Chain A
Amino acid sequence: DIVMTQSPDSLAVSLGERATINCKSSQSVLYSSNNKNYLAWYQQKPGQPPKLLIYGASTRESGVPDRFSGSGSGTDFTLTISSLQAEDVAVYYCQQYYSTPFFGGGTKVEIK
């Protein structure tokens, strides 16, 4: 299994400020034949199922605000919320789909 480790477990950010979440995979999730990273990010608000935000490490799903961005390659990835809004309070998960799908443990984002 390719295990995903997220950091930090939680963070508190002021409204309008930047939030940065990290995700590290135990092996590379970069598929050499197409140069794509098989890494996705989800947002889960309390009492709701997860919502797909980003795939391919950096491609936003349709309808996702552009304040959400993903970066990284290989084994190290980052989700950035450029200007935190109240509705962004949630737990964020990374997921690799290079092999058997595996999710990170989640990062809880709160308002400071």
Chain B
Amino acid sequence: QVQLQQWGAGLLKPSETLSLTCAVSGGSFTGFYWSWIRQPPGKGLEWIGDIIHSGSTNYSPSLKSRVTISLDTSKNQFFLNLTSVTAADTAAYYCARMVGYCGSPNCETTPLWNYWGQGTLVTVSS
């Protein structure tokens, strides 16, 4: 069974950098897109971006200037960095696996998510 375990600092000051790690176990790391999605308290979900084993990334246009998603295939881990955080970045952050598989020559993925981490609440406050 695929499991995603995530961790990172839960309290940041404005202008600091948010850093989260997501470790994948119980399944293949290659061939899938790995995503970050966030949810402000009491609000809806917002897609942040994703990465595949080749290192190719996609980012939300609204966050692209501040976001970096990277990975370490040797550890089956991927990471989120979000710079210059403000109170508006306060949210539960989730790592997740995208539906579908990207092999060679076919890549059939769909931006839906069927495996999720437990979530990490990140609060930005001075």
Identify the A interface with B (CB < 8 A): 40, 42, 49-50, 52, 55, 61, 93, 95, 97, 100-106
28 contacts between A and B (CB under 8 A): A40-B112, A42-B45, A49-B116, A49-B117, A49-B118, A50-B45, A50-B94, A50-B113, A50-B116, A52-B112, A52-B113, A52-B114, A55-B99, A55-B110, A55-B112, A61-B114, A93-B44, A93-B45, A95-B45, A100-B47, A100-B60, A101-B111, A102-B47, A103-B45, A103-B47, A105-B43, A106-B43, A106-B44
A-B contacts besides A61-B114, A104-B44, 8 pairs, CB < 8 Å: A50-B45, A55-B112, A95-B112, A100-B47, A102-B47, A103-B44, A105-B43, A106-B43
Q: Is the interface of B mostly helix, strand, loop or mixed?
A: strand
Identify the B interface with A (CB < 8 A): 43-47, 60-61, 94, 96, 99, 110-114, 116-119
A52-B113 Cα distance, complex, nearest whole Å: 7
Residues of B within 8 A of A101 (CB): 47, 111
Residues of B within 8 A of A95 (CB): 45, 112
A95-B98 Cα distance, complex, nearest whole Å: 14
